[in-house]
Amino acid sequence: MFDQTVKFEDVDADTLSMEYWNDMQTELGYETVWSMWEFSDIDQNIFNEGVKRICYRFYDQASTVEELQNNTAKEIEVSAFAPSGSVRDIWRAAESCYQQAKQLGDWHVFIEDCEVREDGSYELWMGS
């Protein structure tokens, strides 16, 4: 009889990573999706220790297509603090930013990047 059981060697590293982060999302009860799969563990430090201000900018939902095309649309910024540079703390702050932004009409749930700004805060990049 043909065995259709998935074996460890049949699954690539990306699939295993996505499954791990999906399990963490479920365990934490978050709506956001961790999409920086280059990190392998929720307790891994991705930034130096210390409190981080995580900022997320998005366009006002009342913006018109013309305003978006002309770069004149109103941007809104929300933020939260991460007590450390661990994935867990960065994700918690990102989830808080998402929940704030969601109340203002934003819908982006995929955490795609987080970069240091000139002022020392961190810019969160989220997609849909």
For the chain, the structural domain boundaries read 9-127
Q: What is the pLDDT of residue 22?
A: 94
Q: How many residues does the chain have?
A: 128
DSSP SS3 for 128: coil
Confidence of residue 1 (pLDDT cuts 50, 70, 90): very low
Q: What is the pLDDT of residue 13?
A: 82
* CB-CB contact of 11 with 31 (8 Å): no
Q: Tokens 């849909």 map to which residue?
A: 128
d(CA 89, CA 125): 16
Looking at the predicted structure, is the pLDDT value of residue 44 above 90?
A: yes
Phi-psi region of 46 (alpha: psi -120 to 50; beta: other; left: phi over 0): alpha
Please provide the average confidence, as pLDDT, over all residues in the chain: 91
H-helix or E-strand spanning residue 21? helix 13-28
